[in-house]
Amino acid sequence: MLTETAYGDPRTDFWPRVRQFAVPPSVIETATARRRSGDWAGACAAAGVDVDLDLRRLTRTHGRELASLVRADLRHLAPDLLRWHMPRIAPDGLLRPGLTLTLARYRTQRHDRNQAVHLAVRTPPAWADAEQRMSLLVWSGDGDPVPGALHHPHTRPDRRFRLDLHRHLWDARRTGELRERSGADRPPDGAPNTLAEDGHGTADDAVGRPAVDRWAREAELLLRADGLAPGPVLVRLGSRRRLVLEPALGTDPARITAAPPGGAASALPVLPHAATWTPPDVELLRTGALTADRLHPLVADSLAPGRRTVGPAPAARLPGDPHLVDCRGARHRIALVDGVLTALDHEPAEVRREELLAELTGAPLPCVRAIDEAHRRPDCLEGMHERLRHGDVTGALDVLEGLLGPRAVLRDGPLRDALEATARQRLTYGLFRAGLIGPGPGPRGVRPDRAGPGSIPPDHRRSRDSRPHPRHATAR
């Protein structure tokens, strides 16, 4: 396409930054170590997943057999791998908000086909998101006592976003299936894909290229898993196009047609999102936009077996190395001294005088100006924002301490504003999970866009309709 030639392919331009910041290597290492030691709850905590299920309560309500199945899946849950493969939205690659996604479904004698018990993961709505956290829960349709369910927009598992048919995207026992299920074991056919022009780059999805060659096989798996006879399947390409996949009849291949207008196609089974698109990691490897050592280890082992992992590239400059500044016709040094960024070639009294001059709107020395800029607008600010958007607060603070020192006091500026906004949003997330704040007005909720993140609505505030003396009352 001409736009891809001029502006670059969004599939290869967008995803490398997501892969760099969304799941940091430190999270993968910690979660993997805890999972291998049998601490599945600790692995979830390391990956930013809140555990909202009680296995004892599950045993009482659904029996020991189902609880043992859930416990076995939890032992092999790789929450860092799940975060790696979760649906994301453009333009920042954040987790798709307000989503309840099925990881596994269980059937017992107490539940019929339409009341299966789901092991699910849930993302908060965008206004309540903090640090890109998710929650792990068990959903059965018999009420939802999970924290945050009171004001969640979609508490029922979404039939489009489901991973129970793609366990290789979260189950450490089946990660080897990714190569075959993603089509990475077959070379690309090179044929032009006309669906790709309308399928990717939508405003609400961060997706790749439609995996048309796999749709028929994935549709068979879907219908067989749901106990349905062979028939048409609905395929959704973002929010722009809906297609109907007709099954193969005899020697005739499967047929793809546009979905009829109206709601007739909504009753059809929906091809899962994970089966609709080619995983971005496959295209990143094929195009060379990303190397195998920058992928999640479990993903790299499946998509690029036998390749040597070289690990992350070393930093260009160590935090303790001095930074050179042109000051008064000479090259002066700025470095960390006792945990504080300091001008090494100026006396403390001189630095203090220059700081007072800056407070009086004067022009200080270049060394003092460089230190002030580092506190307000450091050169790593864009990386800091990316880390904060994706919930890597620990990584952001490590970069900050490496640049300014662990004893630095931030000054007013965009860096301090970003950290304060992150702290306020964490409070909003806590209130949302406690059911004390929501998107609509009422005694237990307030519109976040009106009150601001983190504000607590007063319980005594009354709406206009509940006033004791309405406007249409009789005259005094």
Most confident option among 111-115, 190-194, 208-212: 208-212
Q: For residue 148, give every residue at least 6 positions away whose Cβ sits within 8 Å of its Cβ, in sequence order, or none.
A: 52, 122, 124, 128, 135, 432, 433, 435
Q: What is the pLDDT of residues 383-402, one digit of tens each?
A: 888 999 999 999 988 888 87
DSSP state letters, 190-248: ----THHHHHSS-TT-----B-HHHHHHHHHHHHHHTT--S--EEEEETTTEEEEEEPP
Flag the least confident range among 19-33, 261-275, 395-409.
Answer: 395-409
> Could you tell me if 296 and 304 are in contact, meaning their C-beta atoms sit under 8 angstroms apart?
no
Please work out, in degrees rounded to the nearest 5, the angle formed at the alpha carbon of residue 186 by the alpha carbons of 305 and 16. 60
Cα 132 to Cα 422: distance, rounded to the nearest angstrom: 11
Confirm if 187 and 126 have CB atoms less than 8 A apart: no
| Contact of 111 with 138, CB cutoff 8 Å | no
Asked if 84 contacts 32 with a C-beta cutoff of 8 angstroms, the reply is no
CA distance 312 to 330: 36
Are 280 and 11 a contacting pair, CB within 8 Å?
yes
Mean pLDDT across the stretch 91-113? 84
- Confidence category of residue 144, pLDDT binned at 50, 70, 90: low
State the pLDDT confidence band at 318, using cuts at 50, 70 and 90: very low
Residues 361 and 372: beta-carbon distance below 8 Å: no
Residues 347-394 have pLDDT tens digits of 888 878 877 877 777 778 888 888 877 777 766 677 888 999 999 999
What is the reported pTM? 0.81
Q: Is the pLDDT of residue 102 over 50?
A: yes
Phi, psi of 156 (to 5 degrees): -80, 140
pLDDT score recorded for residue 383: 83
Lowest mean per-residue pLDDT among 75-79, 217-221, 318-322, 450-454: 450-454
Tell whether the model's pLDDT for residue 197 goes beyond 50.
no
Question: What percentage of the chain has pLDDT greater than the value 90?
Answer: 49
Task: Output the furthest CA–CA distance in the chain (Å, rounded).
Answer: 89
Query: N- to C-terminal Cα distance for the chain?
Result: 73
Is 172 in contact with 78 (CB distance < 8 Å)? yes
Burial class (CB in 10 A: 0-12, 13-18, 19+), 281: buried
Assess contact for 174 and 166: CB atoms under 8 A.
Answer: no
Mean pLDDT to the nearest integer, 411-433: 89
Residue 373, phi then psi, degrees to nearest 5: -65, -35
Question: What's the rounded mean pLDDT across residues 335-342?
Answer: 78
- One-letter amino acid at 431 equals L
Give φ, ψ of 152 to 5 degrees: -80, 135
Confidence of residue 11 (pLDDT cuts 50, 70, 90): low
